[in-house]
Structure 1
C-alpha cells in the first residue's frame, strides 16, 4: 500500500470523499477531522501504576510486603522476654 494514498469515505452515506472536504458532497454530513497520526498524548495529573518502570514497581511491591509482614509480627507475635 502507498503511504501517501488516503481515501476517505463518508461515515454517514459511504460516498467517496475528497481529501480536504469538511462536508460530504452527497448527503451533507459533517466529516470528522482526520488524524495525522502525530497526536500528542495528554499528560495526566498523576501517573498511573503502569507508567512506572519494572524496577520501581518491584521496589514498591517489596516495601508493601515488608510493611505488612512487619505489622503482622508486631500485632500477632508473642512477646518473649
Structure 2
C-alpha cells in the first residue's frame, strides 16, 4: 500500500476491537446473552432469505429493501434524537 490514506484507514493499531467479556449482572452482559441465544437458535439463514415459491424475485427483493431502509431510518432517527 503506497497510498498514505489507505495506510491510515487500515492501521491495525486504530482498528476498533470489541470487548469479548462483559461483567455478569450488567446490562451489556444480559444483551450479550440474548444476542448469543438468538444466534445459536438453529436458524438456517439460507432458508430465511430463500425466495418463496410463486414469488417474483424483483418483488421479493423490493419488499425487503424497503423494509431494510425503514429499519435503518428508524435507527438513524433515534440516534439523532439522542445525540442532539
Give TM class, smaller chain: 0.3 to 0.5
Higher strand proportion, which one? 1
The structure whose RCO (Cα within 8 Å, separation 6+) is larger is: 1
Higher helix proportion, which one? 2
For the pair shown, the structure with the greater C-alpha radius of gyration is 1
